């Protein structure tokens, strides 16, 4: 059994090296740049249920929205100012985890309801932390999976410090938010909400739910802090969405 695991691990590692070698040849170039892994390529890989062109970094797997938020973190936030912080990262993207942990240290906490690699198992509608505990909360493309999203937003508001901030991202795929809790069939959810485990489509009125919770919200667009050449080279497209920057 131990030998089989060793062989399996070696095979997966070798296969990964081969895949990386092939990708480096197929995507060789400098037209695109990923600010997360800091590597270049000729283009980004197509990605999505309905494939989006020029979407996924071939090196680290980051998508449009991930590159945008990383640029925001590094350029427009105090996340990396070397001051101690307690940071809650919900549904942690693997390409962020090591870099954020290295920067933030022991105050960095990852949480997920089902991912065994997250530090904590957490239901975001019932966060087991005291009021005003976290300086920063980052949650991306999770809330559209939550039936009681308003309760989750209230929990984020409760555990955020009065001088802290949160980035709470959802896909905006409709002119107006649409939901129906009676829809539970995965195929019907796929048809109505765009994914089998989504429970609604959000529109720009998502900001109203944030404000109803008590947040002061600033909607930040890529062009607010990136120039045209950066937007092109880093693959910041309409799929990147806007940034919902929330304070108490």
Please check whether residues 179 and 94 belong to one and the same domain.
yes
3-class DSSP state of 78: coil
Place of tokens 């590692």: 13
Please check whether residues 34 and 105 belong to one and the same domain.
no
- Determine the Cα–Cα distance for residues 69 and 72; give it in Å rounded to an integer: 5
Instruction: Tell me the Ramachandran region of residue 213: left when phi exceeds 0, alpha when psi lies from -120 to 50, beta otherwise.
Output: alpha
CATH of the domain at 149: 3.40.50.150
Model confidence at 19, pLDDT cuts 50, 70, 90, reads: low
Domain boundary among the residues 36, 62, 88 is at: 62
Q: Could you give phi then psi for residue 88, rounded to 5 degrees?
A: -100, 120
Please check whether residues 53 and 109 belong to one and the same domain.
no
Please check whether residues 28 and 126 belong to one and the same domain.
no
Q: What is the mean pLDDT of residues 168-182?
A: 96
Tokens describing residue 241: 């969405």
Please check whether residues 197 and 90 belong to one and the same domain.
yes
The whole-number pLDDT of residue 24 equals 66
Tell me: the pLDDT tens digits for 50-93? 899 999 999 999 999 999 999 999 999 999 999 999 999 999 99
Place of tokens 């995965």: 186
Please check whether residues 182 and 237 belong to one and the same domain.
yes
What's the domain range around 68? 63-247
- Determine the Cα–Cα distance for residues 204 and 172; give it in Å rounded to an integer: 7
Please check whether residues 38 and 147 belong to one and the same domain.
no
How many structural domains comprise the chain? 2
Q: Which residue has the higher pLDDT, 2 or 48?
A: 48
Domain boundary among the residues 41, 62, 83 is at: 62
Please check whether residues 181 and 213 belong to one and the same domain.
yes
CB under 8 A, 24+ apart: contacts of 50-53: 52/237, 52/239
Please check whether residues 12 and 132 belong to one and the same domain.
no
Cβ–Cβ < 8 Å for 35, 28: no
Please check whether residues 147 and 80 belong to one and the same domain.
yes
Please check whether residues 26 and 98 belong to one and the same domain.
no
The whole-number pLDDT of residue 188 equals 95
């Amino acid at each position: 059994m131990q030998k089989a695991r060793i062989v399996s691990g070696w095979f997966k590692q070798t296969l990964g090296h081969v895949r990386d070698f092939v990708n480096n040849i197929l995507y060789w170039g400098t037209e695109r740049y990923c600010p997360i892994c800091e590597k270049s390529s000729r283009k980004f890989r197509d990605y999505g249920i309905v494939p989006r062109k020029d979407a996924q970094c071939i090196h680290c797997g980051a998508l449009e929205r991930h590159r945008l938020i990383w640029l925001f973190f590094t350029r427009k936030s105090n996340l990396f100012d070397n001051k101690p912080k307690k940071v809650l990262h919900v549904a942690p993207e693997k390409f962020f985890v090591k870099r954020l942990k290295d920067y933030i240290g022991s105050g960095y906490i990852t949480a997920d309801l089902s991912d065994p690699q997250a530090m904590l198992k957490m239901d975001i509608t019932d966060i087991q932390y005291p009021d005003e505990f976290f300086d920063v909360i980052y949650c991306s493309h999770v809330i559209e999976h939550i039936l009681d999203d308003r309760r989750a937003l209230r929990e984020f508001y409760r555990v955020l410090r009065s001088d802290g901030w949160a980035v709470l991202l959802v896909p905006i795929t409709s002119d107006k938010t649409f939901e129906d809790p009676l829809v539970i069939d995965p195929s019907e959810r796929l048809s109505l909400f765009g994914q089998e485990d989504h429970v609604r489509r959000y529109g720009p009125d998502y900001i109203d739910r944030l404000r109803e919770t008590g947040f002061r919200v600033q909607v930040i667009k890529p062009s607010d802090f990136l120039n045209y050449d950066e937007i092109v080279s880093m693959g910041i497209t309409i799929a990147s969405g806007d940034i919902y920057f929330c304070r108490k």
